[in-house]
Amino acid sequence: MSAACSSRTHRMFSLRKGTIIMTNNPRYTLGTEANRIFMASETYELLKFGKGFPAPDGGSGWLNADGTLDPSHGVETWITSRMAHVYSIGAMLGYPGAGELADAALKGLTGILHDDEHGGWYPQVFADGTHAPRKVCYAHAFVILAASSALLAGRPGAKELLDEALATYDKHFWDDEIGLAVDTWNTEFTELDPYRGLNANMHTTEAFLAVADATGNNTYRVRAGRIIDHVIEWAEHNGWRIPEHFKSDWSVDLECNADKKDDQFKPYGATPGHGIEWARLIVQWALSSFANRDGARPYIDAAEHLFARAVDDAWNVDGAQGLVYTTDWNGMPVVTDRMHWTAAESLNTAATLHAATGEARYADWYATFARYVDEHVIDHEGGSWFHQLDGGNHVIGTVWPGKSDLYHAFQSTLIPFLDPAVSIATAVKNAA
């Protein structure tokens, strides 16, 4: 890390006045029984909503707005892994039937989604049995997360799945020379795509921290730190807006997808929600990696910068509440839609920064985000959360139709109340 992040005296961004919407409603206030009840009820409702995810041959497809499966998506590895993760945690929380639902997801990872010939996991398998091409880092990172959570939940076959997922990842995706993950191979693992991306590295960081906490293997925590150091350096030299896309030599590609600005996984420009999500992961890593706050402090400072830049660029910048999806490299909105995952990660990060710093402004941000989620994002009639809203907070589905999975929303009902230094599944198990 550079010296610019090493001191609390380094200037934080000055946020626009009035961005925090103050509320005295205990339903939205960290530390109140009312807020805990509100979020605990959402935990239950989400688990209830997603119960219909299992596909006939195992795994999970994409959920429609009513919780049924959209057959056009077939079965997808990243969604299947997320549902295995969620229902493994649900099992540890004592939700009825959650263990069996986790097993149904795991059946997809050990069965239909697994490439028995070349190893690894197909991104997607369709109803006719054909599969999408390529082997994708993003999906493989979620297999690791799912297996580590299933291991903690005591699900059958979880250890074997985790061992294979780590071995596959270490062989094909982890570049130990630079300390980052590559992105996409062809199906046979013989040709590596030149694209490099931080979205896959972000979820790799999450998965590595989960493995370290679940198994005690600190190798993966060290690896997560190597990724984080790169991210902080790139962000600091780019106005704390994180570059997302890179070429094969890890040179920044700021114009990637300029002609497809709302891409589902590789949108053009800066993604403020990712700045917020990275901030939480950085704090988690720092708190778990240093014996005292002096060592963690530069990383917590960096996380504060990322959070400040993101909310300054994205929150309530066009006259309506919510975080815009993307901005250009000067912080001007590009795609003004609001995605549910950004709101969920904002809850997590605001609570985590409050726990790490003790500063009241982060509790105020948490209350602001909680109110927004309650008023605009939670589907109080149909269940789960609306996944995409337009700039006026009306439900749309151009990028995220339906309610694909539970992962982001579910985690945001728990992470704010758990140890910020510990991955969610281990923290739930420790609290049981």
Q: Classify 91 as helix, strand or coil.
A: helix
Distance CA 190, CA 119 (A): 12
Q: Let me know: does 7 contact 57? Beta carbons within 8 Å.
A: no
215, 232, 388, 243: which is closest to 305 by C-alpha? 232
Task: State the pLDDT at residue 2.
Answer: 37
- Helix 272-289 vs helix 293-314: crossing angle, to nearest 10: 170
CA 97 to chain centre: 25
Mean pLDDT across 329-348? 97
Distance CA 371, CA 130 (A): 44
56-109 pLDDT, tens digit per residue, is: 999 999 999 999 999 999 999 999 999 999 999 999 999 999 999 999 999 999
Mean pLDDT across 411-423? 98
Distance CA 232, CA 254 (A): 17
Domains parsed from the chain with CATH numbers: 3-431 (1.50.10.10)
62 backbone dihedrals φ, ψ, rounded to 5°:
-85, 130
Distance CA 323, CA 214 (A): 33
357-401 pLDDT, tens digit per residue, is: 999 999 999 999 999 999 999 999 999 999 999 999 999 999 999
- Catalytic option among 274, 354, 376, 387: 274
- Catalytic option among 114, 140, 387, 408: 408
52 backbone dihedrals φ, ψ, rounded to 5°:
-90, 15
Mean pLDDT across 220-231? 98
Q: Classify 265 as helix, strand or coil.
A: coil
Task: State the pLDDT at residue 18.
Answer: 39
pLDDT at 236 over 80: yes
Phi-psi map region of 134: left, alpha, beta (phi>0 left; psi -120 to 50 alpha) = left
Share of the chain above pLDDT 70, in %: 95
Clarify whether 408 is annotated catalytic.
yes
Q: Classify 252 as helix, strand or coil.
A: strand
237, 316, 227: which is closest to 278 by C-alpha? 227
Mean pLDDT across 421-429? 98
**Which helix (DSSP H) or strand (DSSP E) does residue 196 occupy?**
strand 196-197
**Which helix (DSSP H) or strand (DSSP E) does residue 404 occupy?**
none
Task: State the pLDDT at residue 47.
Answer: 98
Q: State the pLDDT confidence band at 35, using cuts at 50, 70 and 90.
A: very high
pLDDT at 20 over 80: no
Mean pLDDT across 323-335? 97
Q: Classify 20 as helix, strand or coil.
A: coil
Q: DSSP alpha helices (H): ranges in 153-197?
A: 158-172
Q: State the pLDDT confidence band at 317, using cuts at 50, 70 and 90.
A: very high
Q: Classify 103 as helix, strand or coil.
A: helix
pLDDT at 17 over 80: no
Phi-psi map region of 353: left, alpha, beta (phi>0 left; psi -120 to 50 alpha) = alpha
Task: State the pLDDT at residue 21.
Answer: 64
Task: State the pLDDT at residue 59.
Answer: 98
Mean pLDDT across 168-186? 98
Task: State the pLDDT at residue 8.
Answer: 33
Tell me the pLDDT of the chain averaged across its residues.
Answer: 94
Task: State the pLDDT at residue 19.
Answer: 59
Distance CA 375, CA 371 (A): 6
pLDDT at 352 over 70: yes
Clarify whether 274 is annotated catalytic.
yes
124-172 pLDDT, tens digit per residue, is: 999 999 999 999 999 999 999 999 999 999 999 999 999 999 999 999 9
Task: State the pLDDT at residue 11.
Answer: 36
> What is the model's pTM?
0.95
Task: State the pLDDT at residue 22.
Answer: 66
Q: Let me know: does 254 contact 277? Beta carbons within 8 Å.
A: no
β-bridge pairing 135-136 and 174-175? unpaired
